[in-house]
Amino acid sequence: ETGVTQSPTHLIKTRGQQVTLRCSSQSGHNTVSWYQQALGQGPQFIFQYYREEENGRGNFPPRFSGLQFPNYSSELNVNALELDDSALYLCASSLGGQLNTEAFFGQGTRLTVV
């Protein structure tokens, strides 16, 4: 167990809707990153938050947004859902704000857009 928990585990949404996914970081970790993993692919980096500020972003449109709270838990929000947004969404927590430290992943949220 990594101590990183995500909710919900599964979710079905309709195209055009909005969704919020949640992540609770490992105790003591001040950095959280989010990834999208399509079936059969490696995780794609969405963004990273360090001390409530975004400090790294991958090639995802602005309709993917996030928040990190003072207790270092985090949310991923996706607006105007598209069918291609169907994927496993992973969050990972780490320490120090740098991308080159080991990150510990949660079990993911499986999002299906219909």
Partner 1 sequence: EDQVTQSPEALRLQEGESSSLNCSYTVSGLRGLFWYRQDPGKGPEFLFTLYSAGEEKEKERLKATLTKKESFLHITAPKPEDSATYLCAVQDPHRNQFYFGTGTSLTVIP
Q: Which is nearer to partner 1, 18 or 112 (CB)?
A: 112
Distances in whole angstroms, Cα of residue 43 to Cα of each of 6, 17, 47, 51, 103: 16, 23, 12, 23, 13
Eight-class DSSP state of 25: P
Rounded distance between C-alpha atoms, residue 111 and residue 31, angstroms: 23
* DSSP state letters, 68-101: E-TTS-EEEEE-S--GGG-EEEEEEEESSS-TTS
Give least dist CB 16 to partner 1, A. 27
Question: How far out from the chain centre does Cα 101 lie?
Answer: 17
What mask of x and - would describe binding to partner 1 in positions 30 to 69, judged by CB under 8 A? ---x-x----xxxxxx--x------xxxx-----------
Q: Which is nearer to partner 1, 39 or 70 (CB)?
A: 39
Give least dist CB 72 to partner 1, A. 18
Judged by CB under 8 A, the residue of 2, 30, 73, 86 near partner 1 is 2
Does 108 engage in binding with partner 1 (CB under 8 A)? yes
Q: Which residues bind partner 1 (CB under 8 A)?
A: 2, 4, 33, 35, 40-45, 48, 55-58, 90, 92, 98-108
